[in-house]
Amino acid sequence: MELTAPEARVLGCLLEKQLATPQYYPMTLNALVAACNQTSSRDPVVSYADEEVGAAISGLRARGIARVVHQTGQRADKFRQALEDVWGLDEQHRAVLAVLLLRGPQTAAELRTRTERLTRFDAVAEVEEVLGLLAGREEPLVRRLERAPGQKEARWVELLSATAVNQAPVAAPPGVSEVGEAPWGVTATSPVPAGAGSAGPAATAGPAGMAGPAGTAGPAGTAGPAATAGPAGIASPAAPATQPDPHTAATAATIAGPAAAGDLPVGRLQAEIEALRSEVVALVAEMARLRSDVAEVRELLA
């Protein structure tokens, strides 16, 4: 199934409002237009006209996943989604699909935060279990995107809309860790040729390569002849060189010494900071969305 962008937005709004504000569900055309064009909890933000939303409803009805509700004494028709009838989706499944339809690819942790007012998940692992069930159906409804360099966690995408279906998984390049930093203790990821890249006694953590009493590098610790490829670069009996791992090999000048090897990689710290910043932004957006929903309810009650 490949829904158009307006159809996907309308379906996401029906799923969301059924769980978030059941007292105002099913929804009229005007309510659906307002929900589609919300500026909070939407990515991307759109501005659909009544005609576009009406055409999207007709498309969903033709596919059998939306239905019109005729109520006695009501002038305007109302609409509801029918995913629980067609595919047997429970509340948690519908909540996850709603947020994916409305906000695009997200991690399991982001989904847990953003579905709090729709349903209850006790842990991220519970969200991942629901995602696994949705992905393992005969006709998968979601798919896991591999982590790209610089991303801490893998994201998930719904497979109902045409835009999402065309997204290809992104694989991390070989030789780089999945969070985007260099291997532990190495500050560069460029491989070096065999032989010439093996560190001599002065380039490894040998006695002469350690910091002197004053805290500065000793004479043998600088990039002298012993650190370059050649006879002096071959391991001496006093400090035999170890064969570097081909997956973590780096130039001799960038191998960390004993004091630097225990430091936490800067890339990992940056990834953690970015993850925390992302969570803070998500929480701020949720607060803004809740204020918007409260304003909507007040307007309806007025």
Q: What is the pLDDT of residues 181-202, one digit of tens each?
A: 333 333 334 444 444 444 444 4
CA gyration radius, the chain? 28
Start-to-end CA span in the chain (Å): 40
Domains (range + CATH), the chain:
5-172+279-301 (1.10.10.10)
3-state secondary structure (DSSP) of residue 52: helix
Supply the pLDDT for residue 264: 53
Provide the Cα torsion 27, 29, 30, 33; round to 10°: 100
d(CA 236, CA 201): 7
Q: What is the pLDDT of residues 75-102, one digit of tens each?
A: 889 999 999 999 999 999 999 999 999 9
* 108 pLDDT more than 80: yes
* Adjacent-strand bridge partners of 142: 158
To the question of pTM greater than 0.75 for the whole model, the response is no
Q: Mean pLDDT of all residues in the chain?
A: 75
Q: What is the pLDDT of residues 32-51, one digit of tens each?
A: 999 999 999 999 999 999 99
Supply the pLDDT for residue 268: 66
With pLDDT > 90 as the criterion, what percentage of the chain qualifies?
48
Supply the pLDDT for residue 26: 96
Which helix (H) or strand (E) is 128 found in, with range?
Answer: helix 124-135
3-state secondary structure (DSSP) of residue 241: coil
Q: What is the pLDDT of residues 247-300, one digit of tens each?
A: 444 443 343 444 443 455 666 676 678 767 767 766 776 777 677 777 777 766
